[in-house]
A and B are shown apart, each in its own frame.
Chain A
Amino acid sequence: MRFYEYEARKIVELAGVPVTKYGFCTSAEEARKVAEEIGGPVVIKSQVLTGGRMKAGGVKFADTPEEAAQHAEEILKLEINGHMPRGVLVDPKAEVKQEYYAGVVWDGTAKKPLMLFSDMGGIDIEEVAEKHPEHVGKGHVSNLLPVSDFEAKQVVAATGVTGSQLNRATPVLARLARLFRENDMTLAEINPLAELTDGSFVALDAHMEMEAEAVGRQKKLLRKELGIAEDDTRETYEPSDFEKNVGAIDAADHRGVIQGKDHGFTGNLGLVIGAGGGSLTLTDAVRNQGGQPANYSEIGGNPSVAKACGLAKEVLEKDGVEKIAVMMSIVSNTRVDIVARGVIKACLELGKDPGETIAIFRIPGAWEDEGFKILEKYGVEYCDRSVSMWEAAGRAVSKIQGAPA
């Protein structure tokens, strides 16, 4: 789950990292008031879940509250990379002496959180790591032991930072590592972490992402502290009707699991496929043989006839779908005969001939003999494990390409 900057700042503030006295506003009038309270030059920043807002004109400076209101008005209407802002953040224009970077990410190889620190802040850390590796400090923290300040200190010191800067930056990085662990983040970064002219350190911008699997147990932070609504899921794109309908069918029946996605798919061959790895393999196999999938899907966990039927119907009713291919890797839990019943029923209920509509049925495994009898009766072309997933996908592609457009 992604967070807006104003939420990410609140998260670091809750963890004890100093921030400037900022205000989140959803109208020009609010922005004026916040600017008045701040008193002095301010920055107005668009609150969008996408990068590149500076370039797009989503960040502007103002010397007076009137100017702040005017900028806020414009930025609130400015779409950036297809995203409308949720609001603007009004922040005092800081007198910065030096910019630093502090971050924590997962290291999947070491299976531990990795702290990162750089005395070259304000720019992309990957770029710094590549061009100036000596300016990036790194260090793992344990998943079991508490994060100690000295661990953060070592990382900061590795970049050559010393003096009061070392002593001010150390607790910031340590607190960031603690919040990363406690709040189930997959990314926690402060960039820039600014040293102001008075020597104090503040987080001028922060970027946080929380793991989807942990959203359920982070309710206190999400709902209470940040006031994020339950249905505010922050998907990377708006789900399509197909995706919503498949999701609803899945939720309505506990037997088995189905999933459907069609974001980025525009073809004519509907895919009723499974399971996780099988679906990835089959989608590639269709595309690499010149086929155009209309969607991606997953069947698993032994769904009911009704559920398999529901998925197949949704796929068949998508615009431009002419035929469906029903394919899976060898199944041991999901039953071949149950899926066969489901997909044939979908065709019949939509008034289509299963033999014409189902380009290929390739699901070997549990109850396959029973399934093949059903397919036989309806004239559906099927195959067992002696026909590879690649070949089955190829047969489906050649069938649909031979069909009249």
Chain B
Amino acid sequence: MSILLDKDTTFIVQGITGREAVNLTKECLDYGSKVVGGVTPGRKGREVHGVPVFDTVAQAVAHHGGPIDGSVVTVPPAFTKDAVLEAIENGIELIVVVTERIPRGDVAEMVELADMRGARIIGPNCLGLIVPEVCKMGGIGGPAKDAAKAYQPGRVGVMSRSGGMTTEISSSLTQAGLGVSTAVSIGGDAIIGSAYAELMPYFEADEQTEAIVIYTEPGGRMEAQLAEWVKDNNSRLPIVAFMAGKFMDDEEMKGMSFGHAGTIVEGVEDTATEKIARLEAAGIRVVERIDEIPDVVKEKLGATA
């Protein structure tokens, strides 16, 4: 099995006529994903790699003849909030927001509406999610043949604040013969739709997933939130974490952000050192080196078997 996606998942691409969106659509189609429509206001009647383009999400739903499961939103930051609200109000329940540089207030607004309507947002500032050999929603892993090289079906769930590192880590798990159950690029912003702790219940319920790997960075409290969740829920899943950006704890780096907008450290609890301590206190193994991940996962799986 998998989380959030399966072989029948249908989705649209909002902003489908943009340059990156055209590529992403082709990649998803090549991978076997069911892209059932696209939306770009004013471009109704066109096609992108055979996918029909509409002016509104409502038109796409009507054309499909029934509810559509998801949407990949890749429109400029000033229009993203409206596009996401449009998707939610048209019954779409899984929304991947690719766009970066969206003000936090807009993100918070769309997340609050999603919560009210029972929808889930992944991102913003993310590459989407992938279930190896089943479905890819977003640019994650790149062209179908590259995605196949890095992502083979397997036992480990991956969540990462960096899109590129989602693939790097998944590739190392694939090479080690462990494979990936579902990998989610959760996004690099300070406020995101789905933090680690919010996705844990899905992985917990997924029989295929036997362990979790997370990639984390300085900034924000989502690692502390995960540590709490693990303590409160007595999770069956061993978690292995990798923390990048430790150099940002240096005195000279104070107040700076590197890599992603969300790495800005706004309080003592946000530093790499503090996060590592919190994760370890919850029994989450934090590896020092990125290449230790597969071996530590194997060790953990051996211990639970």
Contact = CB atoms under 8 A, between A and B. Distances in A.
A164 interface: no
Interface string B254-295: 111011110100110000000000000000000011110000
A328 B164 contact: yes
Interface string B226-247: 0000000000000000101111
B260 A276 contact: yes
Interface stretch (A63-71, A83-91, A93-101, A382-390): A382-390
B167 interface: yes
Nearest to A281: B244
Nearest to A332: B142
Contact of B113 (A144, A212, A281, A366): A144
Nearest to B267: A126
Of A211, A281, A283, the most chain B CB neighbours within 10 A belong to A281
Given A142-B112, A333-B139, A366-B143, A276 B103 contact: no
B259 A279 contact: yes
Contacts of B225: 109
Interface string B104-126: 11011101110000000000000
A337 to B, nearest CB: 14
Interface in B149-176: 150, 160-165, 167-168, 171-172, 175
Contacts of B77: 213
Contacts of A386: 175
Given A277-B161, A281-B165, A385 B171 contact: yes
Contacts of A196: none
A144 B146 CA distance: 41
Of B143, B247, B254, the most chain A CB neighbours within 10 A belong to B247
Interface string A232-267: 000010000000000000000000000001011000
Contacts of A300: 164
Contact of A108 (B142, B164, B220, B288): B220
Nearest to B140: A332
A276 B289 contact: no
B168 A389 contact: yes
Interface string A269-309: 00000111111110111011000000010101000000000
A330 B259 contact: no
A109 B222 contact: yes
B299 interface: no
A168 interface: no
B104 A213 contact: yes
A356 interface: no
Contacts of B261: 212-213
A143 B175 contact: no
A214 B103 contact: yes
B168 A108 contact: no
Of B147, B161, B163, B267, the most chain A CB neighbours within 10 A belong to B163
B7 interface: no
B8 interface: no
B291 A389 contact: yes
Interface stretch (B32-40, B66-74, B187-195, B201-209): B187-195
B172 A276 contact: no
B104 A211 contact: yes
Contact of B188 (A126, A142, A276, A330): A276
B104 A284 contact: no
Contacts of B190: 106, 108
A184 B165 contact: no
Nearest to A368: B146
B225 to A, nearest CB: 5
Contacts of B48: none
A376 B81 CA distance: 47
Contact of B162 (A276, A287, A333): A276
A181 interface: yes
B253 interface: yes
Of B103, B112, B150, the most chain A CB neighbours within 10 A belong to B103
Contacts of B108: 106, 111-113, 143
Given A186-B104, A276-B260, A284-B245, A330 B191 contact: no
23 contacts: A106-B108, A108-B190, A109-B222, A111-B107, A143-B111, A144-B113, A181-B105, A186-B266, A261-B258, A276-B260, A277-B161, A277-B163, A280-B217, A284-B246, A296-B258, A332-B167, A333-B142, A365-B146, A366-B143, A385-B172, A388-B289, A388-B290, A391-B291
Given A263-B253, A281-B244, A287-B247, 15 more contacts: A111-B108, A213-B101, A214-B103, A261-B256, A264-B252, A277-B260, A279-B258, A280-B244, A280-B248, A281-B242, A285-B289, A330-B167, A332-B147, A366-B146, A389-B168
